[in-house]
Amino acid sequence: MEFINGGVVAAKGFYANGVHCGIRKNKSKKDLALIYSEVKASTACVYTTNKVKGAPLTVTKNNVANGYAQAIICNSGNANTCNADGIEVATNTCIALAKELKIDASDIVVASTGVIGQPLDIAPIVTAIPTLVSGLRDNFGASRDAAEGIMTTDTRLKEVAISFEINGVECKMGGIAKGSGIIHPNMATMLVFITTDCNITPEMLQKALSTDIQSTFNMVSVDGDTSTNDMVTVMANGMAGNAIIDSEGEAFDAFMKALNTITVDLCRNIAYDGEGATKLLECEVYGAKDDKNAKIIAKSIICSSLVKAAMFGADANWGRILCAIGYSGADVDVNKVDVYFKSEHGEILVCKNGAGVDFSEDFAKTILSDYEITIIVKLGDGDANSVAWGCDLTYDYVKINGDYRT
């Protein structure tokens, strides 16, 4: 397995594009993206658990109920959520795109992201669709254009691609994502679109995705808010030519490993680009009684506003980590907990068996001044481990969200 260029067009038979259609006032920012497969693809999705859901999710659920899709269209700048005509707008977007692509409207995944509760004018989208379709291509720039088209408060592109083998056959997989704010565990918490030319049934693809998110996207948190709109979609068009994966086994395991490589990379990029963030936080928990407790503890630490603020200030305030473990609800013996801080500058033990130890505050500050920080927690209760990703909490987070609509 190796990382390659290409993003969502790295796999055979996939094309992409992104344009500015006029939803966003800033004409320099793309606000409409398209991903297209030459052939129908096995398609799996997971959706937000928020009871308030964007209209595009309802339409997409109906469209991919048969396990197949051929295109993904996504606008940014407006979430198309809590709108009386939201379903109509999302449905008509699919109809307009299907006419231009000459495919069935029910073979389209539709998504929106941006401000909630603002009417979405479909006219700019319909007007831009011919240009969007005519500009489809399979070069690296195409994936970048699509990635730009789904960004809102994101400050950096989030894309990745890999090459891997299934039973000796080369396959490729790539993905793009958006996510900076309203990021919190409970699938889904962002928009993620993944493409692969691997040949796999819709049932096994859904199993792979639903399993993977439990230790990846559900372990990311920026601000504790679960989004209304977002989802993760994987399309697999089978054009690599490998024997179809229709059951568990060696080939399915290889596919799961490839998928996890893509999703972990995107998780880290989403956490690093949290609104106003200056640091990526990774919390590694070792020695929990079971997976459930390991995940609860890792999430609790990453979600703690006090921990996030301390990391922003490069303050080795390890007591806040113990506090987050204590109220997490996990079954844990707090008298066995060890805590370390780690970065490129080194590693330091700050807590042993639930109590403080002598350590150099200056060295700890140097470690915590890096832009990537690992919080290591060793529990001594069992053999289960977990990882969660987040970011620091800064002054800019409040500013961004205080001015979001204006």
pLDDT band for position 188 (50/70/90)?
very low
pLDDT in tens, 132-145: 999 999 998 999 99
pLDDT band for position 177 (50/70/90)?
very high
Q: Work out the number of other CB atoms within 10 angstroms of the CB of residue 155.
A: 12
Q: By percentage, how much of the chain surpasses pLDDT 90?
A: 80
pLDDT band for position 406 (50/70/90)?
low
Question: Tokens standing for 333?
Answer: 């013996």
Average pLDDT of the chain is 92
Catalytic residue among 81, 91, 189, 195: 189
Strand partners, 144: none
pLDDT in tens, 228-279: 667 899 999 999 999 999 999 999 999 999 999 999 999 998 887 777 789 9
pLDDT of amino acid 8: 98
pLDDT band for position 5 (50/70/90)?
very high
Domain boundaries, the chain: 2-272, 280-402
Q: What is the CATH number of domain 280-402?
A: 3.10.20.340
pLDDT of amino acid 185: 47
pLDDT of amino acid 226: 56
pLDDT of amino acid 170: 98
Strand partners, 201: none
Q: Is a pLDDT exceeding 50 seen at residue 158?
A: yes
Told to judge if 189 belongs to the known catalytic residues of this protein, a careful annotator would answer: yes
DSSP 157-226: --EEEEEEEETTEEEEEEEEEE-SSS--SSS-SSEEEEEE---B-HHHHHHHHHHHGGGTGGGB-SSSPP
pLDDT in tens, 204-217: 999 999 999 999 98
pLDDT of amino acid 396: 81
The Cα–Cα gap between 309 and 208 comes to 35
pLDDT of amino acid 50: 79
- Identify which of 391, 160, 136 has the alpha carbon closest to the alpha carbon of residue 275: 391
Strand partners, 108: 71
pLDDT of amino acid 398: 77
Label residues 357-371 b or e (16+ Cβ within 10 Å = b): eebeeeebeebbebe
pLDDT of amino acid 189: 41
The Cα–Cα gap between 344 and 307 comes to 20
pLDDT in tens, 327-366: 999 999 999 999 999 999 999 999 999 999 999 999 999 9
The Cα–Cα gap between 56 and 47 comes to 11
What class does CATH assign to 2-272?
alpha beta
pLDDT in tens, 64-122: 999 999 999 999 999 999 999 999 999 999 999 999 999 999 999 999 998 888 999 99
pLDDT band for position 173 (50/70/90)?
very high
Average pLDDT of the residues in 385-402: 86
Q: Is a pLDDT exceeding 70 seen at residue 405?
A: no
